[in-house]
């Protein structure tokens, strides 16, 4: 599995997080493998046999949820599936961003291709054609409780497949049927179980969490780079990053972080040694490996959960072709994702917390020994004073958002679904916290580079590169100007991945 050939081929087994990012963000085309098609056809054969033999099976010829005791005639099974999609499309709020919709389509197609859902091959192929053609269903962000799958948002996705709902195509918001027509596609007709197969799963929270894991990894790399510049700007004491300290408390993230900081600072002439009167730095500098490292370890846990989930069967009921059986269970429940996303959200928020404290040390002359708020002619100029205010506001908002959603549960479907995960809320909050923390790190980088204007000595091999990149888009602050544009410029530089890629070319991978 991969995209070196310019194609991501899905079979329900080997999809990778980078594959999802390539398809979602960069438009890499998708195809179903021959093995995937074979698995789809085997499972569909079982469903067709159950319908023909009129075997009572949940979701095939019964109602749904609390209505599962209502038997549906063979003649009405198609209408049942159509009604399921239309009745469950009850999402509200702003629509998901294009990259998230693309990830949702990919993940749902991949899990269906695993071959346990009993859906027809042509429906999955239509999903892939929509993805490749750029037909993006309008999916409202809010309305999923993350237990019987992401029912409401996935129903909005499925609406377009059957020629209903709305979609974006080539920059236009269109009726679903019109979007399909303009892309040269036709709506599908649902048969027994196929509507349920489209909406019973975790692919909305999965899409958000997958993109979140990728972005969090880039963010953590930036956090170490930004922290290293601050250490230099404040003449930090390198003893805190001595390998001997960290191997005797061998958390992997902590060891990795300390090693990365030392690589970033290699060759710097701005560092200090412990001397009488100053033997150690404040926690926001000295404990970077312990704090950043713990967040790295949380990321690795979340990554393992996501790597399992994106290649899992999350439908209900599931079809087991080898045994010719259909089994009802609860693989649609989002608790694994909800817990992992809340954990990662807290880990990212902590990166923002400690970064804001480093910003304060940079702009506070009583702590830095540098001009107040890093301003030339401070008093007349306020310098980067307000940058710390903005960071503080973002940190405060992150603290609210980091409160776990997964510990809440409100029963649904007349108490049939009496414990839910709220995983879509967990994963949406994660996305917001990542964005806020990227802005906080942009402010720290801005302040760290400005501090260097007052410390004209050789920077480290890994810190001089981001300084130079930032100076290409943000000149030194010599007198007051609106810093909004400066923050946005550094934020955009972070989001392009340019800083990380250029630093890694010089000092090796930050992994």
CB 490 within 8 A of CB 470: yes
Does residue 211 sit in helix, strand or coil?
A: helix
Strands 30-32 and 8-10 come out as parallel
DSSP characters over 56-105: --TTTSB--GGGTTSB--GGGHHHHHHHHHHHH---EEEEPPHHHHHHHH
First to last CA, the chain: 21
Q: What is the 3-state secondary structure (H, E, C) of 9-37?
A: EECCCCCCHHHHHHHHHHCCCEEECHHHH
CA 8 to chain centre: 19
> From start to end of 249-372, where are the E strands?
318-320, 325-327
3 belongs to the catalytic site: no
Catalytic residue among 3, 58, 116, 439: 58
* Cis bond before residue 344 (omega within 30° of 0): no
CA distances from 30 to 36, 168, 194 (A): 13, 19, 21
CB 237 within 8 A of CB 274: yes
CB 321 within 8 A of CB 42: yes
- Residues with active-site annotation: 58
């Amino acid at each position: 599995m991969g995209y070196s050939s310019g194609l991501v081929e899905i079979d329900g087994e080997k999809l990778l997080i980078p594959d999802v990012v390539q398809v979602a963000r960069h438009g890499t085309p998708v195809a179903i493998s021959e093995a995937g098609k074979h698995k789809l056809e085997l499972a569909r054969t079982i469903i067709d046999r159950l319908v023909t033999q009129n075997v009572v099976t949940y979701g095939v010829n019964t109602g749904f949820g609390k209505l599962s005791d209502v038997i549906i005639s063979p003649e009405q099974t198609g209408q049942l599936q159509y009604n399921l999609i239309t009745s469950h499309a009850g999402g509200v709020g702003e629509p998901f961003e294009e990259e998230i919709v693309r990830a949702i389509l990919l993940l749902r197609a991949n899990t269906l291709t695993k071959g346990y859902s009993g859906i027809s091959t042509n429906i999955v192929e239509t999903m892939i054609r929509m993805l490749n053609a750029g037909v993006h269903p309008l999916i409202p962000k809010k309305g999923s409780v993350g237990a019987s799958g992401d029912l409401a948002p996935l129903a909005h996705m499925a609406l377009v497949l059957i020629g209903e709902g709305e979609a974006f195509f080539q920059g236009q918001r269109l009726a679903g049927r019109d979007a399909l027509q303009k892309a040269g596609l036709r709506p599908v007709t649902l048969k027994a179980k196929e509507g349920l197969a489209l909406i019973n799963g975790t692919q909305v929270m999965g899409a958000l969490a997958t993109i979140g894991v990728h972005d969090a990894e880039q963010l953590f790399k930036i956090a170490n780079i930004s922290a290293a510049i601050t250490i230099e700007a404040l003449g930090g004491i390198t003893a805190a990053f001595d390998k001997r300290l960290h191997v005797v408390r061998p958390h992997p993230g902590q060891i990795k972080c300390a090693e990365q900081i030392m690589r970033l600072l290699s060759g710097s002439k701005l560092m200090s040694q412990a001397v009488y009167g100053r033997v150690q730095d404040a926690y926001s500098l000295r404990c970077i490996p312990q704090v950043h490292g713990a967040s790295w370890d949380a990321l690795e846990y979340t990554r393992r959960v996501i790597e399992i989930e994106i290649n899992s069967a999350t439908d209900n009921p599931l079809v087991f072709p080898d045994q010719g059986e259909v089994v009802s269970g609860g693989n649609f429940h989002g608790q694994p994702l909800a817990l992992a996303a809340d954990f990662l959200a807290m880990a990212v928020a902590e990166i923002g917390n400690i970064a804001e404290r480093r910003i304060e040390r940079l702009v506070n002359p009583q702590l830095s020994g540098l001009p107040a708020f890093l301003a030339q002619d401070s008093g007349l100029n306020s310098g980067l004073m307000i940058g710390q205010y903005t960071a503080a506001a973002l940190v405060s908002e992150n603290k609210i958002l980091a409160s776990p959603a997964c510990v809440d549960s409100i029963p649904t479907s007349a108490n049939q679904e009496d414990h839910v995960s709220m995983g879509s809320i967990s994963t949406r909050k994660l996305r917001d916290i990542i964005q806020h923390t990227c802005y906080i790190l942009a402010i720290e980088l801005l302040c760290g580079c400005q501090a260097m204007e007052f410390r004209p000595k050789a920077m480290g091999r890994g810190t001089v590169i981001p300084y130079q990149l930032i100076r290409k888009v943000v000149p030194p602050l010599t007198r007051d100007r609106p810093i909004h544009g400066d923050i946005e410029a550094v934020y955009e530089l972070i989001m392009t991945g340019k800083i990380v890629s250029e630093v890694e070319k010089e000092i090796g991978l930050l992994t």
